[in-house]
Amino acid sequence: MARTTLDFNANNAVIDFEEMKIIELPKKKDDPTKVYDLNKILQQFNGVEGITFKISTQQDVEPDSTEY
């Protein structure tokens, strides 16, 4: 059976929830900043069954306590 893929991927990005935008920051100083409409992205997936949704980042996390 044939398949089609619907995918959106932004790297080194920031979510501006108030403006409903995803801002993809440039890797190099001279590269342009790219801005995507989060509502438009989500509308493309609206009603689609079987999606995988993942948001991830790698940051240090402070512990809740240093005593055990």
Tell me the pairing of strands 13-16 and 34-37.
unpaired
| Confidence (pLDDT) at 4 | 84
The answer to whether 20 and 38 have CB atoms below 8 angstroms apart is yes
| Confidence (pLDDT) at 39 | 97
- Computed over every residue of the chain, the mean pLDDT equals 92
pLDDT tens-digit readout, 35-68? 999 999 999 999 999 999 999 998 888 889 989 8
In what helix (H) or strand (E) does residue 14 lie, and over which residues does it extend?
Answer: strand 13-16
Whole-angstrom Cα distance, residue 24 to residue 65?
Answer: 34
pLDDT tens-digit readout, 9-34? 999 999 999 999 999 999 898 999 99
